[in-house]
Amino acid sequence: MNKTGRIADNVSLPELTVRGIILGALITVVFTASNVYLGLKVGLTFSSAIPAAVISMAVLRMFKSANILENNMVQTQASAAGTLSSIIFILPGLVMIGYWQGFPYWQTLAICAAGGMLGVMFTIPLRHAMVVQSDLPYPEGVAAAEILRVGSADAEAVGADGKPGAKAETGIVDIMAGGLVAAVVTLASSGFRILSEGISLWFAAGPAVLRISSGFSLALLGAGYLIGIVAGIAMLIGLLIAWGVAVPVLTSMHTIPDGMTLAKYATGLWSKDVRFIGAGTIGVAAVWTLITLFKPMMEGVKTSFQALSGGKGRVNIPRTEQDLSPAWIIGITLVLVAILVATFGSFLSAAPLTSGVMWGLVAYSVLFAVIFGFLIAAACGYMAGLIGSSASPISGVGIVAVVLVSLLILLVGSADGLLATETGNKLGIALAIFTTSAVIAVATISNDNLQDLKTGWLVGATPWRQQVALLIGCVVGAVVIPPVLELLYNAYGFAGAMPRADMDVAHALSAPQATLMTAIATGIFTHQLNWDMILIGLGLGVALVIVDEILRHRGGFARLPVLAVGIGIYLPPTVASTLVLGTLLAWGIERVLKKRAQQKGVPYEQYAEPSNRRGVLLASGLIVGESLVGVVLAGIIGFSGTDSPLALVGPAFEGTAQWLGLIVFVAVAWIFARRVLNAKTQ
């Protein structure tokens, strides 16, 4: 390793090893299941790169031959699979409209794997221009590289005894501690029901209805901690727009129907009307982001075509510059396109279509997924490098895709007379959702892969080996996603899609993005889209973009992420408010650390690095712990056939459970802050 912490070109170390692939697959199962649960519950996923790197270092240090490049391959594989789980932002729409009664294993696996692997293929030609030659920051990629360097340097300092260094031990302990606490609390709330999952207070101010609420989810607290105060403030603004302005105004314009509670009435208006304001705002944010990145995005697309036509092999090319060759890229891409054709054919095979119409629809859908996916791959790769994977508007990309593909199918289907019946409309909606699923798989993987390739470049990995690891990660993730989706659907159900009539709707997973995109596609095909609210959202989005641009030109750190405002409007208030509390927790800890650094006369970045690293690992542990218990409980619920098989108390205990839940939530947040602030300083 040279002075920069990068393995030199002339040094060859084991990278893509069997043990690393097995370890990466095991981590993949955990993080994919966690992300699927979290994404369906709250509409967010978390980056698994850093916790995967820490776990990999802690495990592989038991082997004397382990090295930084092998650890990098493990985190690359796990990161790709965890990211692929974002396909659940759209795929549940197929059960919401009743086209699927569950999640057919092979169709679900194929659309996930083929879409994700195409995302890998499409971003390989971008690596040299966007990673090596570009000055894009790639925040998550740089952070993961630093974690790997610190862990490797610590291992070297320990000596030849093979024992893990203090930082690796602390890292794995932090993840496990956060996971254990979240697991116990989730079991007490979602399982035993002795702790409430949130609290809501309803008020009637004349005819207007107001709501103040908060959830007690530790996974959301951890997710909020990771997204930061700027996004938190923007989400709070969205929350206030929805429940402080829009819902009170709408409720004041109508009278509550007899026999309906304030909560049910206001929640219904928010669900049917106000959420579409958020959809319009999210759409504007996505389109504006694409507009601002149009020039570099086109440069990325141009670079892709140039690389694909270059025909250079790997002869005499330095090890750290050896990508998969254009021949392999083209060959694998063609195989994946063929898999998509077969998958779409299987998807439409049960529909009452003639062979010519069916294969025509397959051709339109696959061409759209491949061409639009290729363009989006360049855009998402650049956006990830500029603002980070977590901040990239994947939801907005999905909205744009579902609108475009719905209009395309509507145009083609109307010409063929396909959409003249209710059955035809349902088929059109289903095909739009399935096509958008492929696009989102491409987009999410493209969003993540260049971060991983940046990490690899910084530590001196061999690119083609890392690209193979990315492909393996997509396959392993695709194997895991269908059964987890099936398990969660049968145990909890989704908003608007319950597999059994006797299930408790209150415990259904909200699947917010899937609900939104399905509603948009349905509205386009039935010509009943809530345009009034969407137009209000579009106008609000334009106004917020103007405000954000003014703040940007003024300089400083004050910004207003429009996407986060839209998400604050769209997410359920118990979800959005808990995320905001997590961002406030992170902000409060940062303030204390800055004050301490000033008192000691030490640069903040140097002083706070151990605390920031511990905070990320603890937050990741909270997310993983709660999510895994949610998946386990889903299995217990599915096996027992009842909604609350482990409940120790009845509905009468709810009032006490709310207070107990609040006390435990505050206590965990306080302990979290103490542990982060007490991290050993440098």
Angle at 136 between CA 235 and CA 133, to 5 degrees: 165
User: How far apart, in whole angstroms, are the C-alpha atoms of residue 44 and residue 13?
Assistant: 37
Lowest mean pLDDT among 119-128, 267-276, 392-401: 392-401
pLDDT of 104 higher than 50: yes
User: How far apart, in whole angstroms, are the C-alpha atoms of residue 511 and residue 38?
Assistant: 9
Averaged pLDDT, 486-508: 79
> Would you state the pLDDT for residue 222?
85
Q: How far is CA 219 from the centre of its chain?
A: 13
- How many beta carbons lie within 10 A of that of residue 555, not counting itself? 7
DSSP-assigned states of every residue in 243-262: IIIIHHHHHHTSPPPTT--H
Lowest mean pLDDT among 89-103, 453-467, 540-554, 634-648: 634-648
Whose CA is closest to 436, among 390, 486, 399?
399
Angle at 486 between CA 482 and CA 490, to 5 degrees: 175
Q: Look at the alpha carbons of 322, 327, 329, 332 in this order and tell me if their dihedral is positive or negative.
A: negative
> Would you state the pLDDT for residue 327?
84
- How many beta carbons lie within 10 A of that of residue 533, not counting itself? 20
Angle at 66 between CA 61 and CA 70, to 5 degrees: 115
% of the chain surpassing 90 pLDDT: 13
Each residue of 247-285: pLDDT tens digit? 888 888 877 777 777 777 888 888 788 888 987 887 788
**Most confident range, picked from 189-198, 223-232, 311-320, 531-540:** 531-540
Asked whether 517 and 401 are in contact (CB, 8 A), the reply is no
Compute the mean pLDDT over every residue in the chain, rounded to the nearest whole number: 80
> Would you state the pLDDT for residue 161?
37
Asked whether 419 and 430 are in contact (CB, 8 A), the reply is no
Whose CA is closest to 37, among 509, 436, 498, 499?
509
> Would you state the pLDDT for residue 237?
93
Averaged pLDDT, 206-212: 72
End-to-end C-alpha distance for the chain, whole angstroms: 23
Whole-angstrom CA distances from 230 to 51, 226, 557 are 23, 11, 9
Each residue of 279-309: pLDDT tens digit? 788 778 877 876 776 665 566 556 555 555 5
pTM: 0.75
Lowest mean pLDDT among 218-222, 347-351, 411-415, 549-553: 411-415
Whose CA is closest to 16, among 68, 82, 69?
69
Could you tell me the two tokens for 353? 């279509």
HSE, side-chain direction, 13 A CA sphere, residue 118: 32
Q: Look at the alpha carbons of 558, 562, 567, 569 in this order and tell me if their dihedral is positive or negative.
A: positive
Averaged pLDDT, 654-676: 91
Residue 485, SS3 per DSSP = helix
Averaged pLDDT, 573-583: 87
Each residue of 589-639: pLDDT tens digit? 999 999 998 888 888 888 888 888 888 888 878 877 887 787 777 777 766
Per-residue burial over 169-193, b = 16 or more CB atoms within 10 Å of its CB, e = otherwise: ebbbebbbbbbebbbebbbbbbbeb
> Would you state the pLDDT for residue 332?
93
> Would you state the pLDDT for residue 586?
92
What phi and psi values does residue 589 have, to the nearest 5 degrees? -65, -40
User: How far apart, in whole angstroms, are the C-alpha atoms of residue 227 and residue 555?
Assistant: 21
User: How far apart, in whole angstroms, are the C-alpha atoms of residue 680 and residue 675?
Assistant: 10
Angle at 347 between CA 328 and CA 123, to 5 degrees: 30
User: How far apart, in whole angstroms, are the C-alpha atoms of residue 496 and residue 493?
Assistant: 8
> Would you state the pLDDT for residue 648?
84
DSSP-assigned states of every residue in 523-579: HHHHT---HHHHHHHHHHHHHHHHHHHHHHHH-SS----HHHHHHHHHS-HHHHHHH
DSSP symbol at 490: H
